[in-house]
């Protein structure tokens, strides 16, 4: 499973990249706005840190505008993936961008029917938002299960990217279902490595080691 960082913060991205832990980065307008820097510059900086798909989201909501923005975004770096909202105009744009060989990540997906349409339009990635579905008492992971099954049944090459990840269980369940990618905030990435028994065990090993008579 590929692990992406869902962040536009260069400190977090550098740290995760230094551990060799991330295969790509997803951003969205809210994450970018928090950084208070020009969008294109920020995306270029992220591309210099991580050698993998970097999602940059369009803000147009009409097909022509989305395609125009997408063409500009991919000029920033060859790793840029154009993030497009899952609306009918977005699907039209995805079809056109895919014809031009431009990779897309279709975002704000909340159902398997939406995901089916995105795959048919030629999306490179589909981003179902599991956390936001859980927030409204729906089972986010059920949608992942349906999408993975549908894509397998028909041999779609669109990669399932588990998004809106809130905790490690979302990553585990996504991996067990065969999702291709999970994108997560920095804090969740760190939680993946953490186990209290590891910390307790290490503390004990080091304390025992200290009891060893010191040789001259």
- Annotation says 75 is catalytic: no
Q: 112 or 127: whose CB is closer to ligand E4P?
A: 127
Q: 121 or 216: whose CB is closer to ligand E4P?
A: 121
Q: 139 or 198: whose CB is closer to ligand E4P?
A: 139
Query: If DSSP codes are grouped into helix, strand and coil, which group holds residue 146?
Result: helix
Query: If DSSP codes are grouped into helix, strand and coil, which group holds residue 177?
Result: helix
Q: In this structure, are residues 164 and 140 in contact, taking their beta carbons and an 8 Å threshold? A: yes
CB atoms within 10 A of CB 195: 10
Nearest distance, CB of residue 194 and ligand E4P, angstroms: 20
The CA–CA distances, whole Å, from 200 to 111, 123, 193, 207 equal 42, 45, 14, 11
Nearest distance, CB of residue 204 and ligand E4P, angstroms: 37
Q: 91 or 184: whose CB is closer to ligand E4P?
A: 184
Among the options 2, 83, 204, 214, which is catalytic?
Answer: 83
- Interface with ligand E4P by CB under 6 A: which residues? 6, 26, 28, 107, 127, 129, 131-132, 163-164, 183
Nearest distance, CB of residue 114 and ligand E4P, angstroms: 15
Taking alpha carbons only, the member of 19, 24, 28, 27 closest to residue 2 is: 24
CA distance linking residue 210 with residue 214, whole number of Å: 9
Q: Which residues are catalytic?
A: 83
């Amino acid at each position: 499973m590929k692990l992406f960082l869902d962040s536009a913060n260069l400190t977090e991205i550098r740290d995760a990249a230094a551990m060799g832990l991330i295969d790509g980065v997803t951003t969205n307008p809210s994450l970018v706005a928090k950084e208070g820097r020009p969008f294109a510059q920020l995306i270029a900086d992220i591309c210099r840190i991580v050698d993998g798909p970097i999602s940059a989201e369009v803000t147009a909501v009409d097909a022509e505008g989305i395609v125009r923005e997408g063409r500009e975004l991919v000029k920033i770096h060859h790793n840029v993936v154009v993030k497009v909202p899952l609306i009918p105009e977005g699907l039209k744009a995805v079809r056109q961008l895919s014809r031009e060989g431009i990779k897309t990540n279709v975002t704000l997906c909340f159902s398997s029917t939406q995901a089916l349409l995105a795959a048919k339009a030629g999306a490179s990635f589909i981003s179902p938002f599991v956390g936001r579905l859980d927030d409204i008492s729906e089972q986010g992971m059920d949608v992942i299960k349906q999408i993975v099954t549908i894509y397998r049944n028909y041999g779609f090459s669109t990669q399932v990217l588990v998004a809106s990840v809130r905790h490690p269980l979302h990553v585990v369940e996504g991996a067990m279902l065969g999702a291709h990618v999970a994108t997560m905030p920095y804090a969740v990435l760190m939680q993946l490595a953490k186990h209290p028994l590891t910390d307790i065990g290490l503390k004990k090993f080091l304390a025992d080691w200290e009891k060893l008579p010191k040789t001259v």
